């Protein structure tokens, strides 16, 4: 799969996540609330990336020590954290769209 096809799939997932977030929680009532939601998702994504780095160091140490029995477990941990991180980053992108859409809705309601 090439990068453009992957981006298209991810964009669809972002749109579904945004739609679900709005359906379940509504639009944000202010830019401050939108920012708080966005920051929460960014923090969660950063946490997963930090865990990837920690597990990568553990894998590197195992490789240097020739501890082959550890490789599978460590690589699986890195993979799982990468998947978790990808999910969190999809939520970051969705909250960006929710932020923008919420602003548009509030602005149109204030003009009405």
Tell whether the model's pLDDT for residue 112 goes beyond 80: no
Spatial contact of 92 and 16, defined as CB atoms under 8 Å apart: no
Task: For 34-83, give the DSSP string.
Answer: HHHHHHHHHHHHHHHHHHHHHHHHHHHHHHHTT-HHHHHHHHHHHHHHHH
Residue whose C-alpha is closest to residue 91's, from 27, 15, 2, 34: 15
pLDDT of residue 66: 94
Segment 44-101, tens digit of pLDDT: 999 999 999 999 999 999 999 999 899 999 999 999 999 999 999 999 999 999 999 9
Between CA 25 and CA 98 the distance in angstroms is: 11
């Amino acid at each position: 799969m090439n990068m453009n096809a992957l981006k298209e799939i991810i964009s669809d997932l972002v749109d579904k996540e945004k739609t679900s977030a709005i359906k379940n929680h509504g639009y944000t009532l202010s830019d401050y609330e939108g920012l708080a939601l966005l920051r929460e998702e960014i923090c969660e994504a950063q946490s997963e990336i930090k865990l990837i780095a920690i597990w990568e160091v553990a894998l590197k140490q195992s490789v240097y020590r020739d501890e082959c029995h550890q490789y599978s477990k460590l690589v699986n941990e890195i993979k799982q954290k990468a998947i978790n991180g990808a999910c969190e980053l999809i939520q970051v992108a969705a909250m960006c769209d929710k932020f923008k859409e919420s602003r548009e809705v509030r602005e149109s309601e204030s003009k009405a």
